[in-house]
Structure 1
Amino acid sequence: MTSIFNGMPTSSLQSKWIWFVGLGVLLLICGLIALSNLMVATVVSVFYVGMLMLAGGVIYLIHAFQVRGWDQVLFWALSGVLYVLAGICTFINPILTSAALTLFLAVALVIAGVFRIWVGVRMKPVKGWGWIVASGIITALAGFVIALGWPVNSLWILGLFLAADLIVQGSTMIAFGFGIRS
């Protein structure tokens, strides 16, 4: 019996189960390596962000000269230059960049947590609203804990998030691969 999953027959997906398991194992190994040295993982994540900023800046600069009108060219060129400078700064001083990114992460988690609490309270008559509020409280608390430890924790917190994400993604891919096998 073949069913359709997002336009792809599941039998075709089932035949690729080993690739999902292999990817999962690779991601899990990378996550454990990152977990073994959080400071190096933090620097790697900062360099990754820096490369993305450099690439984005170059794209903005190329785009700036594709538009018509000097006011638009100036805006896009200035945006590109700022991205390129920010990307260069990540490579010049990755520790300062990790501190800035960690502070940004803390603020984002607090805001997201407060928003989830607000949404959960507004959904109060609906069954399960408490789970949304609980999720918001945990997210906001995580942001507060990160902010309280800032800037010292900026040496390892981004690496911890990277390691945790790789481990969760790896475990998920392994479970998915074995799940579609049968």
Structure 2
Amino acid sequence: METRRYEVSVQTNLINDIKHHTRWFTGLGVVFLVLGIAAIAFPFVATMSLEIAIGILFVIAGIAQAVQSFSIPRWAGFFLSLGLSALALIVGLLMLFYPLAGVITLTTLVAAFFLVTGILKTTFAFQVKPALGWGWLLVGGLLSLALGLLVLLQLSKAYPWFLGLLLGIDFIFTGIWMIALASRAKRL
């Protein structure tokens, strides 16, 4: 019983927080919508931007780990930490200097992710059948499988725009969710 009371309290606090900040949620939702539309309209630019951002993050992580490696005197993990920092730096710099190769690698990884999640979702759907929503899970799993196969089979044609398209779709759904959340909170 105590857990249920806690859940209601958390939900009430969340709704109150959203009510007091509906303009921010709505504004951020609009920003996500606009960015999503732009990413879908210019998927190659969005893909390259994403790849470069990830490359920069790897470089920053590599530098931070190198600083950490030298900041602890006589640390047993010094060489391992320094090796990991070198790896992160190399990957980041390769992504920055050869962005198209990075896009191909990222797209291949995303396609593999879709294949694995598609198999797992489909398997799980059959395990929970006839539970409520098992059909949606099955459809989602089959769509993930189809998308993963489509990208892998058409990789040379898909890689320049695929990640940008996914980013755009994600941003649009995030924007819609935030606007809907703010709208719903206003009415409560």
TM-score (norm 1): 0.88
Contact 1:4 1:10 in 2 (8 A): no
Change in Cα spacing, 1:126 to 1:181, as seen in structure 2 (3 Å) is closer
Q: What's the counterpart of residue 21 of structure 2? A: 16
**Cα distance, 1:119 vs. partner?**
2.2
In the alignment, does 2:120 pair up with 1:115?
A: yes
**Cα distance, 1:124 vs. partner?**
3.8
Q: 2:171 aligns with which of 132, 157, 166?
A: 166
Q: What's the counterpart of residue 106 of structure 2? A: 101
Percent same amino acid at aligned positions?
A: 25
Larger mean Cα displacement after TM superposition, 42-51 or 113-122: 113-122
Q: What's the counterpart of residue 65 of structure 2? A: 60
Q: Give me the whole-angstrom Cα distance separating, in 1, the residues matched to 2:11 and 2:96.
A: 41
**Cα distance, 1:171 vs. partner?**
1.1
Please report the RMSD computed on the Cα atoms of aligned residues, expressed in angstroms.
2.1
Contact 1:116 1:132 in 2 (8 A): yes
Q: Give me the whole-angstrom Cα distance separating, in 2, the residues matched to 1:154 and 1:76.
A: 33
Q: 2:148 aligns with which of 122, 140, 143?
A: 143
Q: Give me the whole-angstrom Cα distance separating, in 2, the residues matched to 1:164 and 1:9.
A: 26
Structure 1: gaps of 5 or more residues: none
Higher helix proportion, which one? 2
Larger mean Cα displacement after TM superposition, 46-55 or 141-150: 46-55
Count residues with an aligned counterpart. Answer: 179
1:15-54 matches, cutoff 5 A: 15-54=20-59
Q: Give me the whole-angstrom Cα distance separating, in 2, the residues matched to 1:30 and 1:167.
A: 8
TM-score (norm 2): 0.85
Question: 1:25 is aligned with what amino acid?
Answer: V
Larger mean Cα displacement after TM superposition, 128-137 or 33-42: 128-137
